[in-house]
Amino acid sequence: MLKHVLLTGASGFLGSHLARAFLGEGIGVTALVRTHSSLDRLAGIKGHPLLTVLYAEQADWPQVFLTNTFDAVIHTATAYGRLGETAAEMAAVNTELPSKLWDLAGRHAVTVFINTDTFMPANTSMVDRYYNYCRTKKAFLEYAKQKTYPSTKFANLVVYHMYGPN
């Protein structure tokens, strides 16, 4: 039974719905967001006693894992490049952040790490506008495949288009 999750991308569409669902089940959520993120999607749950909002750029990661016991890390944060993010900014969110969290989750024996991946292929053409997005998402997946932790299960969730009400 989950008691506490670290949820990246909590201000996004998927992350905000997951945060609400977890809180509704009495599961604590440490919600990771970027400082420039709008928290509008978290309206109605901000201030919930089981919700802690953590800003990615200000997080002391070793300390976060020392002072919390997470049952799961769920990585939904994504930079697509649609907001003008550079290749380096996409790599920071799509490759570097989850790599850091995967290592910490493994070292702290977090039960499961769930990554949200893209359905787009790794061999997307360099001329495709999503080339850097695909490249950085797949780079983390390769990293996680190469660096395993016996006490932490890795699940890769391939996300297709989400649409419709809620």
- What percent of the chain is modeled with pLDDT above 90? 64
Q: What is the pLDDT of residues 55-103, one digit of tens each?
A: 988 999 999 999 999 999 999 998 887 778 888 998 999 999 999 999 9
Grade residue 35 by pLDDT with cuts at 50, 70 and 90. Answer: confident
Helix and strand tally (H, E) in the chain? 5, 6
What's residue 87's pLDDT?
87
> Would you state the pLDDT for residue 126?
59
Mean per-residue pLDDT for 12-32? 95
Distances (CA, A) of 38 to 12, 34, 43: 9, 9, 10
pLDDT of residue 117: 85
pLDDT tens figures, 120-139: 766 766 555 667 788 899 99
pTM score of the predicted model: 0.91
Residue 85's pLDDT is: 83
Q: Which residue, 143, 76, 132, is CA-closest to 106?
A: 143
